[in-house]
Structure 1
Amino acid sequence: MAAPARAIEPQEQLADPALEHRARELGQELRCLVCQNQSIDDSNADLARDLRTIVRERLTAGDSDDQVLQFVTARYGDYVLLRPPFRTGTLILWFGPVVVLVAAILALMLRRRRRALAEPAPLSPEESRRLARLLDEEKGS
């Protein structure tokens, strides 16, 4: 099984294996704002490269993982996180797909109901004659 390709270039890697491991872990939590569905570790975009550099600089300066994430989200917002926090401002990210699905289901149900409640099709000539005969028989009784 092949491992996914990483966009990290050799000159970006830190000499300290522990710091590099932390940088890779953080890189998997941050979204490339250009590619949107890739982490910064998986993206070749210039912005992803810049974010990888910022992460490594902050780690080298002694920041904790949380401090690095706070620094990046302060600059780019919660959208930069691949798993955004559950807050009022991110509710659309969490519940938007569910709301759209429920709305689509309700629209389909209403459409079917409208069709069921619509006026019936007009009677065929044969059905009209039969109905007239039945009504005449009813009057004669």
Structure 2
Amino acid sequence: MKRLFFMIVALLAAQPLFAQDQLPPAPYAYKQLEDPTLEAKAQRLMETLRCLKCQSQAISDSDAPMAGDMRHQVRTRIKAGEDPEAIRAWLVERYGDYVSYAPQNKPIMWPLFAAPLVILLLAAVLLRGRFRRSIKPENGQ
């Protein structure tokens, strides 16, 4: 009896996980804009945005429901006259830097670029000291 109760509770708790897949796709998820110029602008932007559910696939190529929702947002905002960079900024604010294939240069990123230089400099200093000691002639000879 306890086992049956826990199985029912587990199934009811897991139901929201499948809710997104059961919803119909957003109107502009798979439908292009009527204006070819606006659609081209939306397509260029969608090719630079990463699907968060797929293996680093662009939202323009992904069939995931989340990518469809993101395509709908991009097309709706482009149709409303919003700038593509403003849309990118909104998506980055909402989903984080990972959503964009063009990451922003922020001050917190400088250790990523400085660390290899520091390691190379440290290796050069250590190797120089080691070679200097091995080349020095001994006083007794």
1:82 corresponds to which of 89, 101, 112: 101
Letter in 1 for 2:100: L
Greater relative contact order (Cα < 8 A, sep 6+): 2
Provide closer, same or farther for how the CA distance between residues 81 and 15 of structure 1 changes in structure 2, counting only shifts above 3 A.
Answer: same
* Closer, same or farther: CA 45–85 of 1 in aligned 2, 3 Å: same
Runs (5+) with no aligned partner, structure 2: 1-27, 118-141
Q: Distance in 1 between matches of 2:106 and 2:55?
A: 20
Q: Moved runs in structure 1, 4+ residues, more than 6 A? A: 95-99
Aligned residues: 111
The reply on whether 1:15 has 2:34 as its aligned counterpart is yes
**Equivalent residue number for residue 53 of structure 1:** 72
Deviation, 1:69, is 0.9
The one-letter code of the counterpart of 1:28 is E
Larger Rg: 1
Moved more, 21-30 or 66-75: 66-75
Paired amino acid for 2:94: R
Inter-partner Cα distance in structure 1 for 2:29 and 2:69: 15
1:55-88 CA-partner distances (Å, limit 9, x unpaired): 0011111101111111111211111001211224
Task: Give the 3 Å change call, closer, same or farther, for CA 38–11 of structure 1 in structure 2.
Answer: closer
Which residues of 2 match residues 1-141 of structure 1 at below 5 A? 11-88=30-107
How far the C-alpha of 1:36 sits from its partner, in A, is: 3.8
Q: TM-score, normalised by structure 2?
A: 0.55
Q: Name the CA distance, whole Å, in 1 between partners of 2:93 and 2:39.
A: 23
CA–CA distance in structure 1, aligned partners of residues 112 and 89 of structure 2:
27
- In structure 1, runs of 5+ residues without a counterpart are 1-8, 103-141
The CA RMSD over aligned residues, in Å, is 3.5
| Secondary structure of 1:12 counterpart | coil
